[in-house]
Chain A
Amino acid sequence: MSAHLPVLQVLVPLLAAPVCALLRSARAAAALAVLASWTTLAVALALLGEVKSAGVVSYAIGGWVPPIGIEYRVDMVNAWVLVIVGTIASVVSPYMVVSVSSEVERRRIPLFYAAYLLCLTGLLGIAVTGDVFNVFVFLEISSLSAYALIAMGTRRRALTAAFRYLVMGSVGATFIVIGIGLLYVMTGSLNMADLAVLLPEVWDSRTVKVAYGFLGVGFCLKLALFPLHLWLPNAYAYAPSAVTAFMASTATKVAVYMLLRFFLTIFGAPFSFGTMALDRLLLPLALVAIVSMSMVAVLQVDVKRLLAYSSVAQIGYVVLGLSLASVTGLTATLLHLFNHALMKGALFMAMGCVVYRIGSVHIDAMAGLGRRMPWTMAAFVVGGLSLVGVPLTVGFVSKWYLILGAIERGWWPVAVVVLLASLLALVYVWRVVETAYMRPYEGDGRAVEAPPGLLLPTWVLAAASIYFGVFAKSTVATAEQAARVLMSGVGS
């Protein structure tokens, strides 16, 4: 059984999805989705354990020996990403049960779960596979189901948001295929480990550089790096609450993983940072993303949109860590993937609780909720403080490493920008907090505390974002190990 862990990771949600679609009962579909998500997390944790002891876990699909056959290859980096996705899925899926029942048409609910499970399959597949074309296939599985999930939002703008995401996402995916095709032309291989060995021979060829460019643009579209982020704010703002919470904590994270995997493992750190000057290319984009998107977030009146813009800014932090081109920087990147997933998940889920009760996330609708929905808003405060990077929250840990990385490289202004952007985060978080706690409640009696089915998962993430802020040793150690794997290239 344990020998088949890598394929089980993908197979469980993949098989559960069509079953969900066939089920008539919303309740049965929900139960299956939750069960599949939990299994996913269990498998991911088992894989992480195995990787920690064995180094690299390789699995040949259908018994075809790599590099001819498709290989699933798990090392520290993707084991880490799998755990992130698994954790978020297993926390968000029970939340979905309650949240979706109020936001999605009843007869569509089984289909909703099918789409969710497919999306999960795709994200896990991207992380687990060791074959570049397989990455594209899983990418499209996750994206297509994401378009459908977003379109199920209650407001009609969800439709246009999904359409725009579809157009930009497909262009991004196509760019990635072009890049993969050019790599294949040059090496005749699609296996990641194989490519990593073959590519250095042809580093100088223009085709490889062109492939690098196509892949880069494709990934940046997918991970919503400024200025290719335009699809994200509306998609997150108008999707059903549970979908937003799930996507915000996983989809962009997996896209970042793709970027790291291709550019650092396959092309190799020397090529990326040396020949292509990836660090100097990404640095300004990351900084502009952090500052400008935080500023835009300050001006939003729709809180979900505010958080969405904040997500784009946080992606900037993640990419900034990469552009520091050091183990410390990459540690910050990998830590922030996990940490941001926790806090943004908690924040979006808190907003989901608000939607569940009062049906709006307009900033004025928050007035007085601090008293009416104390637990919900307390979770928001915890997530918000984490976003600002207050010590003893996860946000602080990743920011600390980011600043250390910047100082290590001697990039003082970068450290200052990171700190100042935290203050912008403070402003947009505080706007919501202040409205919730310091303005009187004006609505009717609808705003009462959210049901435990919503509160519990929300608080799991909120509590986790404190726990891993106080006891960050294990996450830091894992992230650092993964960062070393990435910087050292293949295998090890």
Chain B
Amino acid sequence: MIDLFVSHYNYWVVILLMMVGFYTLISRGNLVKKIVGLNVFQTSVFMLYISMGRIKGGTPPILVDGGCGHGTGAEGAIYSNPLPHVLILTAIVVGIAVTSVGLALAVRVKEAYGTMEEDEINRIEAEMEEAEWRRGRGELIHEFLGKFPTRRALSAPRGAEADA
């Protein structure tokens, strides 16, 4: 058991990071914190790639005396697989782009709503939606919903109906 843990410690680190990132992403209401979580989440995947390319005792993948191939050099020298590293360079660039677009959006949201907290935003949007509904006389829906006593209809003061 310990062996499994120690020999695959890189995977455990990756999983831990991944869960930390994912949890932050889901549980935090602040948009910037969400992006931080997303970053940690993505970074864990970078770690996964990089660590799986490394071979114990391997040398940096530099071409020696014209040798090449998967994993072993011409003289049997072992070196780490360079491909995952290259891939992750790309992925890091992508990650930076995602972060910057996300932060830019967060700034715009703050400008538009005056807050960066998700529950605040949800509240504002729910109000907007309600206003939209009230304005709406989407006939069919009202005919349909009119058949059921909604909470709002029940709580409406009786007098209002009498006036109408």
Q: Is the CB of A163 within 8 A of B106?
A: yes
Binds B, one of A28-36, A154-162, A368-376: A154-162
Q: Is the CB of B42 within 8 A of A174?
A: yes
Q: Point out the residues of chain B lying under 8 angstroms from A58, CB to CB.
A: none
Which residue of B49, B128, B137 is within 8 Å of A364 (Cβ)?
Answer: B137
Give Cα A296 to B156, complex, Å: 26
Q: Is the CB of A159 within 8 A of B108?
A: yes
Interface residue? B55 (CB, 8 A): no
Q: Point out the residues of chain A lying under 8 angstroms from B45, CB to CB.
A: 174, 177-178, 181
Given contacts A166-B102, A301-B133, A363-B138, contact A171 B38 (CB under 8 A): yes
Q: Point out the residues of chain A lying under 8 angstroms from B31, CB to CB.
A: 163
Q: How far is the CB of A237 from chain B (nearest CB, A)?
A: 11
Q: How far is the CB of A364 from chain B (nearest CB, A)?
A: 6
CB-contacts of B36-82 with A (<8 A): 38, 41-42, 45, 48-49, 52, 70
CB-contacts of A165-186 with B (<8 A): 166-167, 170-171, 174, 177-178, 181, 184-185
Give Cα A171 to B18, complex, Å: 11
Interface residue? A299 (CB, 8 A): yes
Q: Is the CB of A181 within 8 A of B125?
A: no
Interface residue? B139 (CB, 8 A): yes
Q: Is the CB of B98 within 8 A of A163?
A: no
Give Cα A299 to B108, complex, Å: 30
Give Cα A163 to B34, complex, Å: 10
Q: Is the CB of A166 within 8 A of B41?
A: no
Chain B minimum-CB-distance residue to A302: B132
Kindly name the residue among B97, B137, B138, B140 whose own CB sees the greatest number of chain A CB atoms within 10 A: B138
Binds A, one of B1-9, B87-95, B147-155: B87-95
Give Cα A167 to B52, complex, Å: 27
Q: Point out the residues of chain B lying under 8 angstroms from A147, CB to CB.
A: 101, 105
Show the binding face of A for B, using Cβ within 8 Å.
133, 136-137, 140, 144, 147-148, 151, 156-157, 159-160, 162-163, 166-167, 170-171, 174, 177-178, 181, 184-185, 188, 190, 299, 301-302, 362-364, 427, 431, 434-435, 439
CB-contacts of B8-35 with A (<8 A): 22, 25, 31, 34
28 contacts between A and B (CB under 8 A): A136-B91, A148-B101, A151-B108, A156-B112, A159-B112, A160-B113, A163-B102, A166-B98, A166-B105, A170-B38, A174-B41, A174-B42, A181-B45, A181-B48, A181-B84, A184-B84, A188-B70, A190-B83, A299-B141, A301-B132, A301-B138, A364-B138, A427-B140, A431-B138, A431-B140, A434-B140, A435-B138, A439-B139
Given contacts A166-B105, A301-B132, contact A171 B94 (CB under 8 A): no
Q: Is the CB of A364 within 8 A of B98?
A: no
Q: How far is the CB of B100 from chain A (nearest CB, A)?
A: 9
Q: How far is the CB of A46 from chain B (nearest CB, A)?
A: 29
Give Cα A162 to B128, complex, Å: 18
Which residue of A156, A166, A170, A181 is within 8 Å of B49 (Cβ)?
Answer: A181
Q: Point out the residues of chain B lying under 8 angstroms from A177, CB to CB.
A: 45, 49, 91
Chain B minimum-CB-distance residue to A299: B141
Q: Is the CB of B101 within 8 A of A171?
A: no
Which residue of B48, B98, B108 is within 8 Å of A170 (Cβ)?
Answer: B98
Q: Is the CB of A362 within 8 A of B106?
A: no
Q: How far is the CB of A168 from chain B (nearest CB, A)?
A: 10
Q: Point out the residues of chain B lying under 8 angstroms from A159, CB to CB.
A: 105, 108-109, 112
Q: Is the CB of A301 within 8 A of B105?
A: no
Q: Is the CB of A140 within 8 A of B98?
A: yes
Q: How far is the CB of B99 from chain A (nearest CB, A)?
A: 9
